């Protein structure tokens, strides 16, 4: 980890190291860069502070690495988020190319996604929110693994992803990209800053992808889409630390998959899939100093997402609405940094065509946190939150963390334990795959409860950066989907879901060479209907990576990436119970001419495709009428993308 959240994870392999596996991490890291990373102020911890002083373990992706990853998938966040250890991008709603983010083996639905501290994708992001968010306007990405309901309530049972936007002080730019699989991206980040306290930014994107049947079986391995995004932001910087951020956004996307022209399922049926997404969001973030040591901060947002989805002959519309408000006071007293506040969240889902599936959750809350620097070598923090859920009762969510730094040494150690809850939702992977049509009414469900813990050690010296993490999680009353008479029913499983594991990340910097190797092992298990333990589907037991890059700030970069994905448990797969392991290799290159960069990337050079192992199409309909299996490996195979990036 480029210094845990301190680490810049700039992987982009320049020298191929044989038989090890890769996850990209770049770092233009000399001693000055490492020092700047130590000075990063993170905000996802609720009490902003330098990352080196935070007892809560925070992963960050800084601006430099975001810029590198822009050239891989300019239209969405998936390539960027894969840079983070413990993060896995897993296919969700695979017929339409959806994706979710797993944190250390926790369900993707339990990760809260924030933009500048606001839930602009909704309290329960669907399978397409991350795919509809271009990263061109990001200054930093912050991730907290584990239950942080103590900080953010029931939507953060598995962790928090906070996307921090670039301000008008950043350089504007335009990026254009085409792929060998029929993809096109055009994204612009524009800024305006006059002499007044006001400044503005505008991020606009146009994205197009053709439907592609890679293996010729009549099914679109790559769904087609046409998407337009617009996100203006207005910043006001007053005197004495007063500030205001206003933001609004629109996402308009038409997405299509299923059988292609002249294609049919094994039983001879035509099976189209379509999704039209209309998302609108608006939000505000304010800072108002009360005294020299205390600040009143406010966060407000409203998000509405309308989905019109066709699954075969069935068409169902749904609307999800999230309204959020919070006021908090941040302060300091002696060796204490503290925050206390009140919050309210409304999360509603309407599915008129499917009775008993929608919900309306109203959750007022109070929370508090104290971070205490007991000594130069010891910092401790405690958080607690009380949520009064209108349907499931009152929940108390605690979390405690500690940071120990060895005096006059490069060693540091963090430990954390937290508990939280999550209210039942139909936005599970099995339901995302089929839509709400086959879902039975939600009845007799209990909220999920979880406890997570981790110990994270770090050593950094003389170009080396070594990070070791040991962690575990347990979800009680986890939600599960069971087929019942052609329908799908959501239940609470009879036993807990557990995911103990460990991670190792080793980084090395020497001049223009930056290399990083990682290894992760997660043993995720859950109970079946009889209470017997079995592997959690689509959570690899082991993953590993090795990346390296040779980079010149003025001339460009060249590198390679290798990624290893171990076997995964499969569920309701007619062809196998466990997937085989596979290795993917990427080659990356960019040439820079002052404010212009031209890039060419060769992705998945090993041409790994799931359909090389087994058919994607089932011999007959699966649970809920799903015509395809789960997706556990790439479907697009080897591809290339070429583009240009301009700094205005």
> What pLDDT band is residue 10 in, cutting at 50, 70 and 90?
very low
**Does the structure show a pLDDT above 90 at 227?**
yes
Any domain includes 4? no
- Asked if 397 and 420 touch (Cβ cutoff 8 Å), the reply is yes
* Tens-place pLDDT, residues 105-123: 999 999 999 999 999 999 9
Q: What is the pLDDT of residue 38?
A: 54
Any domain includes 629? yes
Q: What is the pLDDT of residue 521?
A: 96
Higher pLDDT pick, 259 / 555? 259
**Does the structure show a pLDDT above 60 at 143?**
yes
Q: What is the pLDDT of residue 130?
A: 92
The average confidence (pLDDT) of the chain is: 90
Higher pLDDT pick, 465 / 414? 414
What is the mean predicted confidence (pLDDT) over 388-404?
Answer: 97
What does pTM read for this prediction? 0.91
Q: What is the pLDDT of residue 66?
A: 84
Query: 163: how many CB neighbours lie within 10 A of its CB?
Result: 25
Q: Which two tokens stand for residue 404?
A: 């120990």
> What pLDDT band is residue 39 in, cutting at 50, 70 and 90?
low
Higher pLDDT pick, 129 / 68? 129
Q: What is the pLDDT of residue 178?
A: 97
CATH of the domain at 399: 2.40.170.20
Any domain includes 235? yes
**Does the structure show a pLDDT above 70 at 31?**
no
What is the mean predicted confidence (pLDDT) over 26-46?
Answer: 53
| Total domains in the fold of the chain | 1
pLDDT > 70 in the chain, percent: 94
Question: Domain of 377?
Answer: 31-647
Q: What is the pLDDT of residue 67?
A: 78
How far is 569 from 539, CA to CA, in rounded Å?
Answer: 7
* Tens-place pLDDT, residues 506-545: 989 898 888 989 999 999 999 988 889 999 999 999 999 9
Any domain includes 25? no
> What pLDDT band is residue 1 in, cutting at 50, 70 and 90?
very low
* Tens-place pLDDT, residues 313-328: 999 999 999 999 999 9
For residue 19, CA distances in Å to 459, 467, 602 come to: 25, 21, 19
> What pLDDT band is residue 15 in, cutting at 50, 70 and 90?
very low
Any domain includes 255? yes
Higher pLDDT pick, 234 / 409? 234
Q: What is the pLDDT of residue 64?
A: 72
- Asked if 140 and 148 touch (Cβ cutoff 8 Å), the reply is no
Any domain includes 180? yes
Chain center to CA of 426: 19
For the chain, helix, strand, coil in percent to 5 are: 10, 55, 35
3-state DSSP call for residue 623?
helix
**Does the structure show a pLDDT above 90 at 396?**
yes
> What pLDDT band is residue 6 in, cutting at 50, 70 and 90?
very low
Higher pLDDT pick, 480 / 461? 480
Q: What is the pLDDT of residue 79?
A: 85
Higher pLDDT pick, 488 / 37? 488
The H helix count followed by the E strand count for the chain is 5, 35
**Does the structure show a pLDDT above 90 at 362?**
yes
**Does the structure show a pLDDT above 50 at 17?**
no
Any domain includes 9? no
What is the mean predicted confidence (pLDDT) over 578-607?
Answer: 95
How far is 49 from 165, CA to CA, in rounded Å?
Answer: 18
Any domain includes 21? no
- Exposure of 540 in the CB half-sphere (CA atoms within 13 A): 24
**Does the structure show a pLDDT above 60 at 9?**
no
Higher pLDDT pick, 58 / 278? 278
How far is 28 from 64, CA to CA, in rounded Å?
Answer: 8
**Does the structure show a pLDDT above 80 at 48?**
no
**Does the structure show a pLDDT above 80 at 101?**
yes
What is the mean predicted confidence (pLDDT) over 51-63?
Answer: 81
- Asked if 167 and 201 touch (Cβ cutoff 8 Å), the reply is yes
What is the mean predicted confidence (pLDDT) over 570-595?
Answer: 94
């Amino acid at each position: 980890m480029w210094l845990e959240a301190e680490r810049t994870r700039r992987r982009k392999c320049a020298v191929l190291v044989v038989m090890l596996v890769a996850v990209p991490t770049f770092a233009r890291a000399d001693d000055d860069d490492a020092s700047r990373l130590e000075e990063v102020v993170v905000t996802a911890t609720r009490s902003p502070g330098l990352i080196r002083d935070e007892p809560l373990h925070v992963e960050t992706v800084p601006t430099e690495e975001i810029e590198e990853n822009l050239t891989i998938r300019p239209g969405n966040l998936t390539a960027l988020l894969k840079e983070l250890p413990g993060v896995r991008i897993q296919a969700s709603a695979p017929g339409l190319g959806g994706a979710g983010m797993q944190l250390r083996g926790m369900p993707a639905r339990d990760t809260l996604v924030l933009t500048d501290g606001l839930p602009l994708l909704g309290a329960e992001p669907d399978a397409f929110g991350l795919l509809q968010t271009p990263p061109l306007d990001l200054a930093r990405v912050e991730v907290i693994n584990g239950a942080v309901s103590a900080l953010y309530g029931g939507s953060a049972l598995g962790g928090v992803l906070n996307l921090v936007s670039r301000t008008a002080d950043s350089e504007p730019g335009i990026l254009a990209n085409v792929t060998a699989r029929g993809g096109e991206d055009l994204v612009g980040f524009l800024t305006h800053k006059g002499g007044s306290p006001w400044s503005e930014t505008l991020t606009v994107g146009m994205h197009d992808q053709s439907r592609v049947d890679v293996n010729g079986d009549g099914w679109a391995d790559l769904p087609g889409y046409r998407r337009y995004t617009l996100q203006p932001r207005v910043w006001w910087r007053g005197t004495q630390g007063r500030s205001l951020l206003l933001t609004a956004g629109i996402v308009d996307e038409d997405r299509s998959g299923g059988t292609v022209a002249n294609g049919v399922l094994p039983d001879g049926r035509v099976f189209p899939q379509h999704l039209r997404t209309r998302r609108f969001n608006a939000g505000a973030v304010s800072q108002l100093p009360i005294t020299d040591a205390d600040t009143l901060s406010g966060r407000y947002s409203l998000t509405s997402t309308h989905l019109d989805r066709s699954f075969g002959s069935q068409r169902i519309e749904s609307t999800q609405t999230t309204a959020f408000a919070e006021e908090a006071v941040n302060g300091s007293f002696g060796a204490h940094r503290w925050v206390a506040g009140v919050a309210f969240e409304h999360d509603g889902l309407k599915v008129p065509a499917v009775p008993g599936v929608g919900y309306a959750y109203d959750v007022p809350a109070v929370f508090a946190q104290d971070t205490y620097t007991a000594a130069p070598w010891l910092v401790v923090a405690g958080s607690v939150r009380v949520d009064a859920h209108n349907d499931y009762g009152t929940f108390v969510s605690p979390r405690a963390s500690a940071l120990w730094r060895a005096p006059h040494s490069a060693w540091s150690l963090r430990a954390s334990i937290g508990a939280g809850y999550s209210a039942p939702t139909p936005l599970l992977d099995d339901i995302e795959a089929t839509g709400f049509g086959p879902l039975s009414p939600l009845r007799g469900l209990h909220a999920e409860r979880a406890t997570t813990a981790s110990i994270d050690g770090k050593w950094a010296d003389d170009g080396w950066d070594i990070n070791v993490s040991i962690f575990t999680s347990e979800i009680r009353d986890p939600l599960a989907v069971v087929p019942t008479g052609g329908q799908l029913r959501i239940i609470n499983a009879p036993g807990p879901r557990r995911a103990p594991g460990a991670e190792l990340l080793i980084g090395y910097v020497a001049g223009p060479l930056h290399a990083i190797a990682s290894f992760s092992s997660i043993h995720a298990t859950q109970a079946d209907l009889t209470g017997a333990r079995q592997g959690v589907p689509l959570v690899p037991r082991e993953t590993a990576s090795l990346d390296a890059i040779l980079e010149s700030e003025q001339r460009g970069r060249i590198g390679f990436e290798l990624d290893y994905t171990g076997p995964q448990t499969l569920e309701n797969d007619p062809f196998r119970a466990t997937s085989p392991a596979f290795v993917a290799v990427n080659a990356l290159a960019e040439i820079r001419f002052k404010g212009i960069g031209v890039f060419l990337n060769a992705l998945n050079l090993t041409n790994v495709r799931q359909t090389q192992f087994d058919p994607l199409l089932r011999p007959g309909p699966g649970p809920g009428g799903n015509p395809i299996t789960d997706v556990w490996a790439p479907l697009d195979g080897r591809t290339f993308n070429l583009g240009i990036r301009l700094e205005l």
